[in-house]
C-alpha cells in the first residue's frame, strides 16, 4: 500500500481531479439534501428562473471560491446555471435564504466528514473578526472619531489527531458584542457530544460555559483567565484539569483555519445588512469542510486502487 500523501501532493491532486463545475455540483447536492430554502409568496408573478436550491448553491459557490460580489455572479451565471440572471436577483434571493438554512448546510458538510472519519476526539472553539466597509461615528477621549463596524465569526471545530484533519462542526455569525463564551454555549446547545476534549483560550473561561461543557459530557481544556475577581474562583475546580502541553499542541489548529479564510479574502465582506453579514459568516466556513471532503475523496480513491492492485497481483 502506498504511503500517505503529503499536504502538497494532496493539494495538487485536488486540482487535477476537481474543477469549479464539480465543486458547484457538490454544493448543489448538499442543498438538494436540505430541500427548498424559500418559496414564492403567492401563485401570482413570475416563476423562479432556476430552483431555490440552485440559487443557494451558486451563491455559496461564488462566495467560497472567490468572495464574488453579486455583479460577478451575474457574469458567471450562464456557465453554471445555464441562464443569465441579473445581479439584483441574487441579492434579493440571498436576503430570502434563512440564516438557519445556511447553518444547517454548514453542519451537513461536517456530518459527511464525520461519516468518513468517525467521531472526533478533540473539539475546539474560537472566533475571529469579520471586516466590513461600514463605519460608525463615536467618541474616544472626548473626540469624535469614525470606526469600522466589525462583526464576529464563531467556529466549533472537530479534530482527528491521528489523521491530522480538522472540520467545522457548526458555526455562528454575530455582532462584536456577543462574547466568545456565549457563542460557544449557543453552538454546544444543540448537540449531545459524549466524551471528548474541549479546548479553548482564556476568553472562554466562564462559569456558564463550564456548566454547559459538563452537561455535554466533554472534558475541559480551557486556559485559565489571569484574574483575581472572586467570581473566577467558581471555575477553580475545572481549572485544575488544564494541561499546558496538550493545549499548546492543539490550539493553533483553529488559527490555521482562520488563516486560510483570511488568505482567500473571506474574512472581509461587502454585505451591508447585519443579517446578511451573519449569513455570510456561515457560508465562508463551508469552504474548509468542502476542501477536506475533496482531499478525502482523492485519498479514498487511491486507497481503493491500492486494494484492487493487491487483489489482482
pLDDT confidence of residue 7: 63
N-to-C CA span, the chain? 12
C-alpha cell of residue 307:
486494494
pLDDT confidence of residue 192: 77
Burial environment of residue 140 by CB neighbours within 10 A (0 to 12, 13 to 18, 19 or more): exposed
Segments in 99-150 forming alpha helices (H): 99-117
> Which residue has 471555575 as its cell numbers?
235
In a shared domain, residues 194 and 58: no
From residue 119, how far is each of 110, 162, 189, 292, 297 by CA, in Å?
A: 11, 12, 18, 16, 18
pLDDT confidence of residue 194: 76
pTM here is 0.87
Containing structural domain, residue 68: 19-98
pLDDT confidence of residue 182: 94
In a shared domain, residues 92 and 175: no
- The CATH number of residue 233's host domain is 3.30.420.10
Question: Does residue 4 form part of some domain?
Answer: no
In a shared domain, residues 197 and 292: yes
- b/e string for 167-195 if b means 16 or more Cβ within 10 A? bbbbbbbbeeebbbbbbbbebbeeeebee
Instruction: Give the three-state DSSP class for 206.
Output: coil
The pLDDT tens digits along the chain (313 residues) read: 444 566 666 667 677 777 899 899 999 999 999 999 998 877 777 889 999 999 999 999 999 999 999 999 999 999 999 999 999 999 999 999 999 999 999 999 999 999 888 889 999 999 999 999 888 888 777 888 888 888 999 999 999 988 889 999 999 999 888 999 999 999 998 887 778 889 999 899 988 999 999 888 888 888 888 755 444 445 555 445 677 888 888 888 898 999 999 999 999 999 999 999 999 999 999 999 999 888 887 765 444 444 433 444 3
Of 66, 58, 132, 95, which is closest to residue 276 (Cα–Cα)?
95
**Does an H or E element contain 94, and which?**
helix 87-96
pLDDT confidence of residue 37: 95
pLDDT confidence of residue 232: 44
pLDDT confidence of residue 127: 95
User: Which of 65, 81, 98 corresponds to the end of one domain?
Assistant: 98
User: Which of 98, 130, 162 corresponds to the end of one domain?
Assistant: 98
In a shared domain, residues 38 and 154: no
Instruction: Provide the domain count of the chain.
Output: 2
C-alpha cell of residue 146:
469614525
Amino acid at each position: 500500500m502506498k504511503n500517505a500523501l503529503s499536504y502538497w501532493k494532496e493539494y495538487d491532486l485536488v486540482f487535477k481531479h476537481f474543477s469549479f463545475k464539480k465543486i458547484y455540483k457538490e454544493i448543489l447536492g448538499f442543498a438538494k439534501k436540505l430541500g427548498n430554502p424559500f418559496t414564492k409568496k403567492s401563485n401570482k408573478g413570475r416563476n423562479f428562473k432556476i430552483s431555490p436550491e440552485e440559487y443557494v448553491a451558486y451563491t455559496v459557490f461564488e462566495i467560497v471560491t472567490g468572495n464574488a460580489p453579486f455583479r460577478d455572479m451575474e457574469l458567471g451565471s450562464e456557465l453554471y446555471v445555464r441562464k443569465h440572471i441579473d445581479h439584483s436577483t441574487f441579492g434579493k434571493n440571498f436576503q430570502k435564504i434563512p440564516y438557519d438554512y445556511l447553518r444547517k448546510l454548514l453542519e451537513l458538510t461536517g456530518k459527511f466528514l464525520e461519516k468518513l472519519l468517525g467521531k472526533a476526539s478533540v473539539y475546539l472553539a474560537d472566533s475571529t473578526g469579520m471586516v466590513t466597509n461600514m463605519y460608525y461615528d463615536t467618541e474616544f477621549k472626548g473626540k469624535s472619531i469614525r470606526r469600522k463596524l466589525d462583526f464576529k465569526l464563531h467556529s466549533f471545530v472537530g479534530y482527528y489527531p491521528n489523521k491530522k484533519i480538522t472540520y467545522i462542526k457548526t458555526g455562528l455569525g454575530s455582532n462584536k458584542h456577543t462574547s466568545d463564551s456565549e457563542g460557544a454555549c449557543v453552538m454546544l446547545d444543540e448537540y449531545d457530544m459524549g466524551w471528548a476534549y474541549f479546548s479553548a483560550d482564556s476568553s472562554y473561561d466562564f462559569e456558564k460555559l463550564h456548566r454547559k461543557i459538563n452537561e455535554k459530557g466533554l472534558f475541559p481544556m480551557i486556559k485559565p483567565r489571569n484574574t483575581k475577581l472572586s467570581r473566577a474562583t467558581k471555575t477553580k475546580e475545572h481549572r485544575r484539569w488544564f494541561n499546558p502541553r496538550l493545549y499548546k499542541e492543539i490550539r493553533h489548529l483553529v488559527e490555521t483555519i482562520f488563516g486560510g479564510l483570511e488568505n482567500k479574502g473571506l474574512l472581509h465582506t461587502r454585505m451591508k445588512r447585519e443579517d446578511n453579514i451573519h449569513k455570510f459568516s456561515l457560508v465562508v466556513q463551508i469552504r474548509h469542510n468542502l476542501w477536506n471532503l475533496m482531499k478525502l475523496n482523492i485519498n479514498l480513491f487511491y486507497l481503493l486502487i491500492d486494494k484492487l492492485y493487491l487483489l489482482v497481483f
